[in-house]
Structure 1
Amino acid sequence: MTDAAENRFTTRTEFEGHFLACVARSNATLSLFDPDFAVFPLGTSATDAALRDFLARGGHVQMAMHQTGLIEREYPRFLRLLKDYSHRVECRVTSRALRTLTDSFCIGDGEHIVRRFHSDHMRGEAVFNTPLATEISAERFAGIWAESLPGLHATTTGL
């Protein structure tokens, strides 16, 4: 898995496959941004297993989103993972000023990216083993992260 690879996608199935490939190729960090993570397969057993493997190997996940309601209602498997690995997963909610952002991406280790150009559409690209392809989104994520507040917690009290 060391050769550079770039893939365009237009379907949910292709997106999910590339997302899982990004998680599998990553070792240290996953940085994710999406308005609500409705399209990310966070509720599937395959994603749960991939994320648990990533986290058990010492990886860290940072997620930024506009709203947490969908995850809280629809992804109990992800909430269990968050509880089990709360020391390795941090979720933040964007400020009002950022609510107009509509892109969606997952960056793995600063080398891999799965990016949808607009969160309302499935059209996007997955680029692996190409640090240069992640730079703009990584800078965007750093800005989003700095402007966001802690949001989704392992328990309802945030503990």
Structure 2
Amino acid sequence: MDRLVIPFTTRTEFQQHLASCLSRAEQTLQLFDPDYGIWELGSSASDAQLRRFLHGGGRLQLVGHDGRHIEREAPRFLRLFKDYGHLIEVRRTSQQLRQLSDSFCIADQRDIVRRFHADHFRGEAVFNGPQDLQTSLERFLTIWIESGPGLLANATGLSAS
């Protein structure tokens, strides 16, 4: 597959590209979103894709500002976390990062689905474009380093303490 860049503007398009990104992942998934409210991490389709990925030895890194949506609306993800906790690392952003409002999923440092602002659906998906991901990979690493462990007093540790 050649490099493919696909702009999108709707929830349906975002969900389709996110599903493609998850299904293509083999080694690493790096996710950032303020609250994962529209990611459908609790859907049976996402659960199946993530279980396949983790069963194959993939590693998932997830960072967010707030995990209440996941705790309330994504029981499948919480079970996945329980089953594959050794391959999933969850972090919560520090107070200094709470103004960040973009959203993205990076798979194998090769594919990305990103929304430019978490309150809107406008964004782009890039498949087979590792050269397009350098800035986003550096951004994720910075967010990751500046975030704290997510496993505090609740299932995901993302919600406000």
Please confirm whether the aligned pair reaches a TM-score higher than 0.5, indicating the same fold.
yes
Tell whether 2:129 aligns with 1:130.
Answer: yes
CA distance in 1, matches of 2:116, 2:31: 14
Shift of 1:25: 1.2
Give a deviation string over 1:87-136, Cα, whole Å, max 9, x none. 01111000000000000000001000000000000000000000011111
Once residues 45 and 152 of structure 1 are traced to their aligned partners in structure 2, the CA distance between those partners, rounded to angstroms, is: 24
1:69 is matched with 68
Aligned positions, number: 157
Among all aligned residue pairs of Structure 1 and Structure 2, give the percentage whose two residues are the same amino acid. Answer: 57
Structure 1 residue ranges (4+ consecutive) displaced by more than 3 angstroms after TM superposition: 152-158
1:87 alignment partner, SS class: helix
Match of 1:84 in 2: 83
Write out aligned runs for 1:103-118 (5 A). Answer: 103-118=102-117
Whole-Å Cα distance in 2 between the matches of residues 73 and 82 of structure 1?
14
Q: Is the CA contact 1:91–1:153 (under 8 Å) kept in the aligned structure 2?
A: no
CA contact (8 A) 2:150 2:156 kept: no
Kindly state the Cα deviation for residue 152 of structure 1 after the two structures are TM-superposed.
Answer: 4.7
2: CA distance between counterparts of 1:90 and 1:8? 29
Residue number in structure 2 paired with 1:28: 27
Q: 1:50 & 1:157 partners in 2: Cα distance? A: 19
Structure 1 unaligned segments of length 5 or more: list them.
Answer: none
| In structure 1, distance between residues paired with 2:75 and 2:110 | 30
Query: TM-score with structure 1 length normalisation?
Result: 0.94
Cα root mean square deviation, aligned:
1.7
Partner of 1:56: 55
Return the offset for 1:69: 1.1
Q: What 5-or-longer segments of structure 2 have no aligned partner?
A: none
For the residues of structure 1 that align with 2:155 and 2:62, how far apart are their CA atoms? Answer: 18
TM-score under structure 2 length normalisation: 0.93
Give, in whole Å, the separation in 1 of the partners of 2:17 and 2:98: 26
8 Å CA contact 2:71–2:155 kept in 1: the answer is no
CA distance in 1, matches of 2:112, 2:152: 25
